[in-house]
Amino acid sequence: MVLQRQRVIRDMPEQSFAPIIDGDFWQDAGPTEFVVTNPATGQSLGRETECDPSSVGRIVESSHRAFLQPTWQKMSAAERGRMLFKLADLVEQNAEELVQTELRDTGKPVTQLRAGELPLTADIIRFYAGAADKIEGSIKSGTPGEVLMQIYEPYGVVAGILPWNYPLVNAALKAAPAISTGNAIVLKPAQETPMGTLAFAKLCVEAGIPPGIVNVVLGSGSKTGQALIEHPDVSKISFTGSTAVGMHVQKTAADQMKMVNLECGGKNALIVFADADLERAAEAALLSGFVNAGQLCVSCSRVLVESSIAAEFEALLTQRAAKIVMGNPQDETTLVGPMITRAQYDTALRYLDEALNSECRVLTGGSAATMAAPCENGNWIQPTLVSGVQPGMTIHDEEIFGPVLSVVHFADEAEAIRIANSVSYGLSGSVWTRDGSKALRVSKALDTGICWVNTILSGYPQISLSPHKLSGTGVELGMEGMRAYLKRKSIVIGIEDDAPVGWGLG
């Protein structure tokens, strides 16, 4: 791992972050405030207003009114699509400002934002813009005297609860299909990362999306988030975050029979067979494990390696990991930034301490990183490779959500599948082999929502992601993810005026 020479990161003067209602900031939405910090430096960026329950109610009611407005109800799907195309254009036109906003809010490397997240945000919006008028109902077979139809309708107000690891991407991932299908949406960013979501919502207004269709509440999950998911005018919840919180959201929603989409944790496996292209597989493993400092739900943080090539592959990983540049997010050579929250920083270090006290062997990294000014107070952890990991160990079974790759050896295909499926999660996986039949067999055998073969972290936004096991419920991305924002309705039309009805009592 390379610790680069530090340049000064200049944080802007402190700001006040307020929720958005009807397209405008609402400065007095609650008496409580939180400090928002730059995770790379530990410096304060400003203070965030927490919406109290009554303010959440007003914001949800604003979205409900906007949804019921005749102009929105009568708007064609094609027109909603044109608004989203305009929004995608605005994201690109304001790309550098959004990059700097996300950089300060999350500490992400500037090249990761410029080359990855901003283009992906625009791509997601354009995908759902083009799909707006592509939803089709159906005619079912019935009796000659009846026409059976199935159509789709928007839910109304959707609650979009965002994680702190990819706030801007997730704002688009939830808002774009919601708008495309005719819903209104109230976004709730994580308490630690409000800035990108606020900027996104203001661009929605600039794109011509009516005020109130995209509102934003701010605050903690326990207060603001709870009030949002409990509000009776919220008809659907789309949540991305931890499994524990996702379970709570689902239990709460069940009391009102609300539809819920959950994308939660993952402890995903990248499986490397002896016949794989080891050079490419090593590059994929390091990218998947260390991009965004490992704070990625679909990250493959377990590397399962066939025993016959394990020593060779571990050497490849170690050699390449030593070249990873960690440091100033503004420097274009930086590949790995800080942990985004202090709580997750502490959690990841606790997992590392447990690994060091077990029979595991640290190949590289293994501790907090000591950084030069002005990053000395940031949440920095060295990219870490741990060998000798076995199923049943905490470091193997539980999601660390940090820059830690666990290397596990397996003897054959059956053992690889057994180990990969031995955890409670089922989000993603990756298979590396030159044998096409083996690749398909293993992909089908993995109990995951998505599996990459000889590639990693690709296919978005066209491909859908349907979490398995404790990784969540429902579906995101792709056309399937769009239909998740629509409720189905069946209509039966009698077309014969003299057809008998009822008991014939007349």
Q: Catalytic residues, which ones?
A: 174, 263, 297, 476
DSSP state of 114: I
Q: Which residues are paired to 140 by β-bridges?
A: 148
Determine contact, residues 219/61, Cβ cutoff 8 Å.
no
Closest listed residue to residue 263, CA positions, set 471, 20, 9, 47: 471
In contact, 156 and 164? CB cutoff 8 Å: no
Distances (CA, A) of 104 to 20, 340, 432, 459: 20, 10, 36, 28
Closest CA to 194 of 170, 223, 227: 170
- Dihedral over Cα of 144, 146, 147, 152: its sign: negative
Sheet with 486-494: list strands edge to edge.
138-140, 146-154, 486-494
Cα dihedral sign for 475, 478, 480, 485?
positive
CA distance 92 to 22: 24
What's the Cα-to-Cα distance from 144 to each of 276, 441, 498, 504, rounded to whole Å? 59, 46, 13, 20
SS3 372: coil
What is the C-alpha to C-alpha distance for residues 130 and 133, in angstroms, rounded to an integer? 7
Name the residue with tokens 């606020």. 198
Six-digit token pair at 2?
């390379």
Q: Residue length, the chain? A: 506
β-strands 20-21, 24-25 pairing:
antiparallel
| Number of Cβ within a 10 Å radius of residue 34 | 17
**Beta carbons of 297 and 477 less than 8 angstroms apart:** no
Roughly what angle, to the nearest 10 degrees, separates helices 77-93 and 118-131? 170
Backbone angles phi, psi at 79, to 5 degrees: -70, -40
Q: How far apart are CA 336 and CA 327, in angstroms?
A: 7
CA dihedral sign of residues 218, 79, 65, 150: negative
Contact 241, 247 (CB under 8 A): no
* E strands in 79-155: 138-140, 146-154
CB contact set of 343 (below 8 Å; sequence gap of 6+): none
